Amino acid sequence: MADYTQLGSFNTGGAASLNGELIQKLYDAESKSRVTPIETSIELIDTESEKITEINTKVNELIASIKPFDLFTSGNNAFEQISANVSGTSALFDSADVGALKEGTYQVDIEQLAQKDVWQSNTQTLAQSETVMGAETLTINGDENWDTSGLTLEELADKINLSSKYATASVEKTGDDSYRLVLKSQEPGTANALALTGAATTTLGFDDATDSDGDGVADNHALVAQDLKATVDGIEYSVSSNSIQVDGNLKITASEKGTSTLNITKDESAIIPAVQEVVTKYNELLLMVTEELYATDSSIQDKSSLKSVVNGIKNLMYQEFGKEDSNLFNAGFSFDKTGVLEVDATVLGQALLDDPDKIKDLFIGVAEDKGFGTMLKETLDDFNSYNGLFDSYKTNMEQRKEKLEEDKEKAVENLDTKYDTMAAQFAAYASVISQMESSFSGLKQMIAMESSSS
Tell me how far apart the alpha carbons of residues 26 and 340 are, in angstroms, rounded to a whole number. Answer: 55
* CA angle (6, 9, 12) in 5-degree steps: 160
- Could you count the other beta carbons within 10 Å of the beta carbon of residue 170? 15
Q: Average pLDDT over the chain, rounded to whole?
A: 88
Rounded average pLDDT over 175-196:
97
Alpha-carbon gap, residue 6 to 18, rounded angstroms: 13
Residue 369 sits in the same domain as residue 401: no
Q: Say if 100 falls within a structural domain.
A: yes
Q: Which of 365, 384, 403 is the last residue of a domain?
A: 384
Residue 155 belongs to some domain of the structure: yes
Strands 144-147 and 137-140: antiparallel
* Total domains, the chain: 4
Q: Say how far apart CA 138 and CA 254 lie, in whole Å.
A: 34
How far apart CA 183 and CA 119 sit, in angstroms, is 5
Q: What CA–CA distance (Å, rounded) separates 121 from 85? A: 46
Residue 235 shares a structural domain with residue 110: yes
Where does a domain end: 361, 384, 407?
Answer: 384
Q: Which amino acid is at 290?
A: T
Q: What is residue 15's predicted lDDT score, i.e. its pLDDT?
A: 47
CA distance 160 to 143: 13
For residue 18, the SS3 value is coil
> What span, in angstroms and rounded, lies between the C-alpha atoms of 202 and 208?
7
pTM for the whole structure: 0.63
Note whether residue 209 is domain-resident. no
Question: Taking a C-beta distance cutoff of 8 angstroms, is the pair 167, 186 a contact?
Answer: yes
Q: Which residue, 4, 315, 308, 256, is CA-closest to 114?
A: 256
17: pLDDT strictly greater than 70: no
Query: CA 75, CA 258: separation in Å to the nearest integer?
Result: 33
- Looking at the fold, whether 243 and 274 belong to one and the same domain comes out as no
Which of 364, 384, 404 is where one domain is finished? 384
Contact 310/285 with Cβ under 8 angstroms? yes
Asked if 218 and 208 count as a contact pair (C-beta separation under 8 A), the reply is: yes
- Same domain assignment for residues 17 and 100: no
Q: Which helix (H) or strand (E) holds 230?
A: strand 228-232
Residues 301 and 284 in one domain: yes
Residues 16 and 60 reside in one and the same domain: no
As a whole number of angstroms, the distance between CA 344 and CA 431 comes to 88
Least confident span in 31-35, 103-107, 379-383:
31-35
Span 229-255, pLDDT tens digits: 999 999 999 999 999 999 888 999 999
What are the tens digits of pLDDT across the range 120-172?
999 999 999 999 999 999 999 999 999 999 999 999 999 999 999 999 999 99
**Stronger pLDDT, 67 or 434, i.e. the higher one:** 67
State whether 303 and 361 are in the same domain.
yes
Task: Please indicate, yes or no, whether residues 247 and 329 belong to a single structural domain of this protein.
Answer: no
* Whether 252 and 283 share a structural domain: no
Question: Which of 87-101, 114-128, 167-181, 248-262 shows the lowest per-residue confidence on average (mean pLDDT)?
Answer: 87-101
> How far apart (Å, rounded) are the C-alpha atoms in residues 212 and 219?
7
Residue span of the structural domain in which 189 resides: 118-204
Cβ atoms within 10 Å, residue 160? 20
Q: Is residue 215 part of a domain?
A: no
CA 444/CA 100 separation, integer angstroms = 113
Same domain membership, residue 254 and residue 108: yes
Q: Are strands 196-197 and 228-232 parallel, antiparallel or unpaired?
A: unpaired
Residue 430 pLDDT > 70, yes or no?
Answer: no
In-domain check, residue 222: no
Q: What is the strand order of the sheet 178-185 is part of?
A: 118-120, 178-185, 167-175
- Strands (DSSP E) contained in 43-187 are 82-87, 91-95, 104-112, 118-120, 137-140, 144-147, 167-175, 178-185
CA 108 to chain centre: 38
Amino acid symbol at 145: N
**If pLDDT is split at 50, 70 and 90, which confidence band does 223 have?**
very high
Same domain for 144 and 106 = no
319 within some domain: yes
Other C-beta atoms closer than 10 Å to the C-beta of 294 total 9
Are 358 and 422 part of one and the same domain?
no
* Inside any domain, residue 389: no
In a domain, 134, yes or no: yes
